[in-house]
Chain A
Amino acid sequence: MTQRSRAFIAGAYEHPQRTIPDKTVPQIHAEVAIGALADAGLTMADVDAYYSAGDAPGFGALSMIDYLGLDVSHVDDTETGGSSYLVHVRHAAEAIAAGHIDVALITLAGNPRSGGAGPGGSARFSSAPEASFENFFGMGVIGGYAMAAHRHMHEFGTTGADLAEIKVAASTHAQHNPNAFLQDVVTVEQVLESRMISDPLHLLDACVITDGGGALVVVSEAVANDLARHTIPVLGTGEAIKGINAGRIDLTHTAAVVSGPAAFAEAGVTPADIDYASIYDSFTITVLVTLEDLGFCEKGKGGEFVRDGALQAPHGRLPFNTDGGGLCNNHPANRGGMTKVIEAVRQLRGEAHPAVQVPDCKLALAHGTGGSMATRVGSSTLILGREI
């Protein structure tokens, strides 16, 4: 990135609530927008680019820009499911590099816990070309990930106990997060004894369902230099899509095998250099496969990698999701990408909870996995640094 204008995350805000029955989705978008801009030391008037995904109601960004009263010259409604917000950071960094924008606002909000509708709307999904070939089999969200887990177990000997280690690490972190939806530490045995939902995934292999949201502010170097707040340089980014490939289903990889190496190459670092990782955790299997795909271990060795507290902060080999992640803390609007970036920013600023703050955290990775591992997945990877 030597010749280009660099991008910095200047503001990051996670809505503190997990159940919000009394507010609208646009209202939550507004609250998180204000929160992230305040964190950066900026206002709505400074924003010249707006990013939203399928959780933004109505006409998406058009509706939200009008609702919030933004005056922007750049708009991006890229929708890759729960990973959208990492893709937005990448696109904002590109627009900053091109000199088109200085202050990008990215928002996420939703209220599925209180019965709010899912993003996209049923009409949009039922008219998809694949719909009639996938919708008549009762494959819930967890069903697809369960098949991925089953196939991984079949090919590589991964066990339910391996997957449970991931939940145990997340719960160990969540006990320190007063806003986390689930704050109790659980054991491998408790995960394995929890209700089987979709064989081999148990209730405790699944993320929480929460209302809430979050927002990010990405700025140019010129703006970053004027801010008092500690800003986080975006060092490398990647995005990739993997589909069903005309029926050549491969349930043991995600598009992280492309987005990860792209981000590492751009940043000029390797997995061994990463001090902290936010890994999308819709289910425990999502984390395991992603760790392999990103190169933290060989394909098939994820089970071995996560044993012995490897993911537990502050001293594990690869501390992950120190806010408790989607598995315990928050999965607002059924989308975990935003909170992945927010916790990575906290770690790099040294503002994670002291019990889980990685000492001298200089290099963090945030990864999103959108859509479904069983069908069409949108992967995005960010490598973030620390400059004081």
Chain B
Amino acid sequence: MSETQLPTGEPNITHDNRRYWQGTAEGRIDLPRCTACDLVIWYPRSICPDCQSMELEWETMSGLGTVYSYTVTRAGVGRKWREHLPLVVAYVQLDEGPIVLTNLVDIDPSIIEIGMAVTAVFHDTGHPISDEDGAPTSAILRFTSVS
């Protein structure tokens, strides 16, 4: 991978979110949509927090979004992040609506603006998503500039 590989971690893959992690392992953003009220739900879970329906369907997002806010962090982070400073932490609004916490990578921090268009990249964590033989490794969702 030529792009920046920031630290990752082992996600806590549960009944609530397994499909999401399967998606990112395969280069997709899959999120639950409520069949009762149509809300696309971030973060993935088993209940719609708007109408409390538990009838949800998984849907694949476009992977495109815009920067809602960001910060160029130069200090004040945990040990594993220190060698990766400055680090861009951001909230990105997916075109489908939800705003997700993420990093912006492979973008010169000085050109980042709120409202800027970005596209998803998936950073391999090295941790398989299940104990099954041949299970893919999970991936963390980050964003970069639209080429």
Contact = CB atoms under 8 A, between A and B. Distances in A.
B2 interface: no
Contact of A140 (B7, B48, B72, B77): B77
Contacts of A251: 68-69, 91
Contacts of A133: 42-44, 100-101
A137 B6 CA distance: 8
Interface in A120-177: 126-127, 129-143, 146-148, 150-151, 154
Interface stretch (A91-99, A191-199, A215-223): A191-199
Nearest to A250: B99
B88 to A, nearest CB: 9
Interface stretch (A8-16, A240-248, A320-328, A340-348): A240-248
A366 to B, nearest CB: 27
Contacts of B14: 129
Counting chain B CB atoms within 10 Å of each CB, the highest count among A133, A148, A247 belongs to A247
Given A246-B50, A246-B98, A136 B9 contact: yes
A127 B17 CA distance: 13
A129 B45 contact: yes
B61 to A, nearest CB: 11
Interface string B62-81: 00000011111111111001
**Which bucket holds chain B's interface residue count?**
35 or more
Nearest to B113: A154
A227 interface: no
Contact of A147 (B9, B50, B90): B90
A196 B74 contact: yes
Contact of A199 (B12, B73, B97, B101): B73
A132 B98 CA distance: 16
A249 interface: yes
A261 to B, nearest CB: 23
Interface residues of A, number: 40
Say whether chain A's binding surface is mostly helix, strand, loop, or mixed: mixed
A139 B89 contact: yes
Nearest to B43: A133
Contacts of B13: 132
A147 B70 contact: yes
Contact of A248 (B43, B76, B98): B98
A210 B105 CA distance: 35
A129 B43 contact: yes
A254 to B, nearest CB: 15
B102 interface: yes
A201 B11 CA distance: 30
Contact of B43 (A130, A139, A140, A200): A130
B10 to A, nearest CB: 9
Interface in B1-26: 6-9, 11-14, 16-17
Contacts of B75: 195, 197-198
B140 interface: yes
B36 interface: no
Given A139-B89, A147-B90, 20 more contacts: A132-B9, A136-B8, A136-B140, A137-B89, A137-B142, A138-B6, A138-B77, A140-B77, A142-B73, A146-B73, A147-B71, A148-B69, A151-B69, A195-B74, A246-B42, A246-B50, A246-B98, A247-B40, A248-B97, A249-B91
29 contacts: A127-B12, A129-B43, A131-B12, A132-B9, A136-B8, A137-B89, A137-B102, A138-B6, A140-B73, A140-B77, A141-B76, A142-B73, A143-B77, A146-B71, A147-B69, A147-B71, A147-B91, A150-B71, A151-B114, A197-B73, A198-B71, A198-B72, A246-B40, A246-B48, A247-B42, A247-B94, A248-B99, A251-B68, A251-B69
Interface of A: 126-127, 129-143, 146-148, 150-151, 154, 195-201, 206, 244-249, 251, 374-375
Nearest first, the 8 closest Cβ-Cβ pairs linking A and B are A247-B98, A247-B42, A146-B71, A132-B11, A249-B99, A138-B81, A133-B43, A151-B69
